[in-house]
């Protein structure tokens, strides 16, 4: 792969091919992981990573196990394709909306079954577990809109206010993070919490205990310092 060049409002910049290739490899690995972990079926989800003003995205309708280093697909923040020949994901408006308006460096969208089921039942996922705090608070459900539209992108941005995850009504999930691992982990945690709530809510004669706003906030503050310090 040769060095790629692109034009931006700030002028012409060089992107080192090695960096693009490395990030693309990580993106493809994450996309394949969503299939392996049964968060998507076939090509129903999509993944993106931002490198400067370039957004690498999974292409539309291509099984992830068939993607190669030569299939790298990238657009600028206005959606103009600047890398590759494969058509970018149909959900590009959604990914670009998140990359343009948040500190996201990676976005993961899935059709995870439990999360999608929850999206058909409530307007936000009840705070049934303290990991709610890791996502900024109770996860909202963005109102339904046709996939791949600016309307859907607008709905999800509203649902993401002060959050790093949302559910898409009758559709699926979207999470973002500063890395692919972080975005993916948030997707997995969201699906797990949805499964947990559906399981607890299905017990006859019982109503799940929910955490208070203060408990969720306290957990979120504590989780922000979780893990090894670097």
Residue 21 three-state SS: helix
Residue tagged active-site, from 19, 25, 91, 151: 91
Query: Which pair of tokens denotes residue 54?
Result: 């370039």
Query: Which pair of tokens denotes residue 44?
Result: 């129903």
Taking CA atoms, 76 is separated from 7, 48, 106, 147, in Å, by: 9, 12, 15, 21
pLDDT in tens, the chain (230 residues): 333 434 434 333 456 778 999 999 999 999 999 999 999 998 899 999 999 999 999 999 999 999 999 999 999 999 999 999 999 999 999 999 999 999 999 999 999 999 999 999 999 999 999 999 999 999 999 999 999 999 999 999 999 999 999 999 999 999 999 999 999 999 999 999 999 999 999 999 999 999 999 999 999 999 987 766 66
For the CA atoms of 194, 197, 202, 208, the dihedral, rounded to the nearest 10 degrees, stands at: -170
The predicted model scores a pTM of 0.91
Compute the distance between CA of residue 108 and CA of residue 80 in angstroms, rounded to an integer.
Answer: 20
Compute the distance between CA of residue 156 and CA of residue 221 in angstroms, rounded to an integer.
Answer: 24
For the CA atoms of 109, 153, 148, 55, the dihedral, rounded to the nearest 10 degrees, stands at: -60
Sign of CA dihedral 142, 143, 147, 152: negative
pLDDT of residue 230: 61
User: CB count, 10 Å around CB of 224?
Assistant: 10
For the CA atoms of 155, 158, 164, 170, the dihedral, rounded to the nearest 10 degrees, stands at: -30
Asked if 91 is an active-site residue, the reply is yes
């Amino acid at each position: 792969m040769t060095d790629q060049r692109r034009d931006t409002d700030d002028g012409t910049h060089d992107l080192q091919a090695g960096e693009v290739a490395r990030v693309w490899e990580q993106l493809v690995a994450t996309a394949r992981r969503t299939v392996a972990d049964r968060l998507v079926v076939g090509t129903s989800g999509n993944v993106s990573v931002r490198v400067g003003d370039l957004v690498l995205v999974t292409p539309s309708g291509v099984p992830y196990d068939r993607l190669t280093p030569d299939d790298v697909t990238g657009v600028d923040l206005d959606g103009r394709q600047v890398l590759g020949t494969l058509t970018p994901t149909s959900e590009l408006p959604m990914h670009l909306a998140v990359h343009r308006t948040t500190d996201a460096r990676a976005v993961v969208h899935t059709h995870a079954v439990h999360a999608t089921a929850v999206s058909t039942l409530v307007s936000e996922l009840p705070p049934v577990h303290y990991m709610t705090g890791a996502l900024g608070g109770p996860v909202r459900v963005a109102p339904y809109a046709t996939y791949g539209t600016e309307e859907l992108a607008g709905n999800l941005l509203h649902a993401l206010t002060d959050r790093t995850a949302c559910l898409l009504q009758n559709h699926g999930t979207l999470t973002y993070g500063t890395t692919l691992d972080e975005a993916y982990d948030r997707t997995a945690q969201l699906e797990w919490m949805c499964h947990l709530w559906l399981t607890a809510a299905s017990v006859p004669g019982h109503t799940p205990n929910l955490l208070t706003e203060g408990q969720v906030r306290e957990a979120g503050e504590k989780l922000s310092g979780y893990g090894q310090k670097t």
